[in-house]
Structure 1
């Protein structure tokens, strides 16, 4: 599980759904949750998790997608297997991994040492813990 730390900058809730506005490494993120741990409010610091299989990778910024979360990353490693590629990424000092079909990764044209973007949806993020 990939781990990121973020600060809550806004909260909107209606009928059991909550949309958190977050800031992570200077980048805005959104998280859609069915329930929230006690004590979360604006200014709260959170540890967030996202599975390696939920990350999409792009070689350039993408517009017009429903995947609204976009992080600029540097590719730190690439391990290609017959079916999948495990791609090591750096975002603002945080190490992440993306597990993609090998052909999907190759389609990006990205190589180790290059910069790209990780994309994921608001419902792909999970709150791991509320930080002090």
Structure 2
């Protein structure tokens, strides 16, 4: 599970559904939550959690897309298996990883040092409270 420290900067509510805006070291993230816990309020420091398999990578992406969580990262390591590859990435909020198919790595011609666009759907993020960001 990936973890990036962040600060909750805004909370919008509509009945039990909440839309949160977060700042992860200058990276703007957003997410959806149902039944917001009291510890997740504006100004709270949290850890943003997301699975390695929920990360989408792109090279030289341009134009608008529906993903609200889109930011740049640098590929630091690629561990290739027979079918899957574990990609280590670095961004201003910290280190994290993703798992993609080896075919995707080859199609994107990914190499350590490449800059990629990272995307994670707002519905795929979760929060953990009580951590310094």
Query: Which residue is 2:87 aligned to?
Result: 87
Q: Please, which runs of 5 or more residues in structure 2 have no aligned partner?
A: none
Q: Please, which runs of 5 or more residues in structure 1 have no aligned partner?
A: none
Q: State whether structure 2 residue 15 is matched by structure 1 residue 15.
A: yes
> How does the TM-score come out when normalised to structure 2?
0.91
Matches within 5 A, 1:24-43: 24-43=24-43
Q: Give the CA deviation at 1:96.
A: 0.5
Q: Distance in 2 between matches of 1:69 and 1:38?
A: 24
Kindly report the root-mean-square deviation, in angstroms, between the aligned alpha carbons of the 2 structures: 1.5
Q: Displaced runs of 4+ in structure 1, greater than 4 A?
A: none
Query: Which residue is 1:119 aligned to?
Result: 119
Query: After superposition, what is the alpha-carbon deviation per residue over 1:74-102, rounded to whole angstroms, capped at 9, x for unaligned?
Result: 10100111111110001115111100111
Query: Which residue is 2:45 aligned to?
Result: 45
Q: Distance in 1 between matches of 2:124 and 2:107?
A: 23
Q: Distance in 2 between matches of 1:39 and 1:79?
A: 37
Determine helix, strand or coil for the equivalent of 2:5.
strand
1:48 and 1:129 in contact (8 A); partners too:
no
2:75 and 2:88 in contact (8 A); partners too:
yes
Q: Give the CA deviation at 1:21.
A: 0.7
Query: Which residue is 2:105 aligned to?
Result: 105
> How many residues are matched?
132
